[in-house]
């Protein structure tokens, strides 16, 4: 197979057989927060069918308000960690590599929901995306505890045999709320300019490194857009983008996972045109780090329509492969196409493109 999608890549101790990454996708199929054998089998099927790296669904860190759903897996209870260890064992038995996506929902979690409904909802400043103050601002010590919740989870991941770590800093969840000026009104070291608002994530990266050692790859997922407002941009120019990303480079991150809804859309068209670099492409150009692109790979419609019950038709991979060959990005995260068809990567590798099917949103209801 001559496609650039199937060239190997080494990042620290991570020896990837190809450039295809299973994107993290919330499934809510872990009753009591414990991933069971069905979850292990779900990931193992994709490991056995040529997915280079699996990034798990978001799994929540040890803060009472981290989750809105008791069926979302957590990454701190002993029984849940035992379940994740079984996931790792099954993925490795099928020659796969796997990273947990460590997650805290922040103010996206409504008070009174989740496995610990009495727990307070964490946030940078107690301020909603519309600017309304609804909670007291956490103390600096409380923010430090949030940092350590991520780092301690990363340490557990290393202990039970995961191959890398992904920190979820995108989509309007807790870390991303620290990035966003309408929600982060702090006047301590966690607030201020965009690079200063990135301090929270930088602290998480630094503390994670202490726990996982020098050789384990740390991935940071981030996004300009937010679930609360798809039109939001943290950085409006390449210079602002560079200053933002430099914080994570200096903190020691290894891979930047730039989330966008459609990978073919340029990040700064006013600079390099309508066919310009996407969010991942600019991240690589400005930092030199390995990057992951994502967003409707293999499909025409974005994920928002899927959650409304809409399907999507197949999109050819030609332009994706051309961009990868040019070195605009290093890895490609695939979401719904892999959710629906665990053998998607294998079919692409073997040239069985006629066997790829349009996406049916009913796939969200199953765990296969």
The catalytic site residues sit at 173
Phi-psi region of 28 (alpha: psi -120 to 50; beta: other; left: phi over 0): left
Residue 144 DSSP SS3: helix
> What is the C-alpha to C-alpha distance for residues 297 and 232, in angstroms, rounded to an integer?
22
> What is the C-alpha to C-alpha distance for residues 63 and 135, in angstroms, rounded to an integer?
16
Angle at CA 17, nearest 5°, toward 37 and 49? 40
Contacts of 222 (CB under 8 A, 6+ apart): 169, 170, 176, 179, 201, 256, 257, 258, 259
> What is the C-alpha to C-alpha distance for residues 271 and 78, in angstroms, rounded to an integer?
50
For helices 238-251 and 199-212, angle between their N-to-C axes, nearest 10 degrees:
30
Closest CA to 174 of 199, 200, 145: 200
């Amino acid at each position: 197979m001559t496609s650039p999608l199937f060239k190997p890549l080494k990042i620290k101790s991570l020896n990837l057989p190809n450039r295809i990454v299973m994107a993290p996708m919330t499934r809510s199929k872990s009753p009591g927060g414990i991933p069971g054998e069905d979850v292990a089998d779900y990931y193992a099927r994709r490991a056995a069918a040529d997915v280079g790296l699996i990034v798990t669904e978001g799994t929540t860190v040890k803060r009472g308000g981290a989750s809105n759903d008791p069926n979302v897996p957590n990454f701190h209870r002993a029984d849940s960690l035992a379940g994740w260890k079984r996931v790792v064992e099954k993925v490795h038995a099928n020659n796969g590599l796997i990273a947990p996506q460590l997650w805290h929902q922040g103010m996206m979690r409504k008070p009174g929901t989740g496995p610990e409904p009495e727990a307070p909802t964490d946030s940078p400043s107690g301020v909603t995306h519309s600017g309304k103050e609804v909670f007291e601002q956490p103390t600096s010590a409380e923010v430090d505890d949030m940092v350590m919740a991520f780092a301690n989870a990363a340490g557990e991941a290393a202990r039970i045999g995961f191959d890398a770590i992904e920190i979820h800093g995108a989509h309007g969840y807790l870390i991303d709320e620290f990035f966003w000026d309408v929600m982060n009104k702090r006047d301590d070291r966690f607030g201020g300019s965009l690079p200063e608002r990135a301090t929270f994530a930088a602290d998480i990266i630094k503390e994670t490194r202490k726990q996982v050692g020098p050789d384990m790859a740390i991935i940071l997922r981030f996004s300009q857009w937010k679930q609360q407002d798809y039109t939001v941009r943290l950085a409006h120019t390449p210079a602002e983008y560079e200053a933002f990303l430099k914080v994570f480079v200096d903190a020691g991150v290894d891979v930047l996972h730039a989330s966008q809804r459609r990978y073919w859309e340029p990040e700064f068209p006013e600079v390099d045109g309508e066919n310009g670099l996407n969010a991942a492409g600019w991240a690589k150009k400005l930092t030199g780090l390995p990057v992951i692109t994502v967003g409707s790979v293999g499909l025409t419609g974005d994920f928002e329509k899927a959650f409304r019950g809409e399907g999507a038709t197949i999109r050819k991979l030609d332009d994706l492969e051309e961009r990868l060959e040019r070195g605009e990005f290093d890895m490609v995260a695939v979401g719904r196409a892999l959710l629906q068809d665990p053998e998607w990567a294998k079919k692409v590798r073997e040239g069985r493109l006629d066997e790829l099917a349009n996406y049916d949103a009913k796939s969200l209801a199953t765990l296969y």
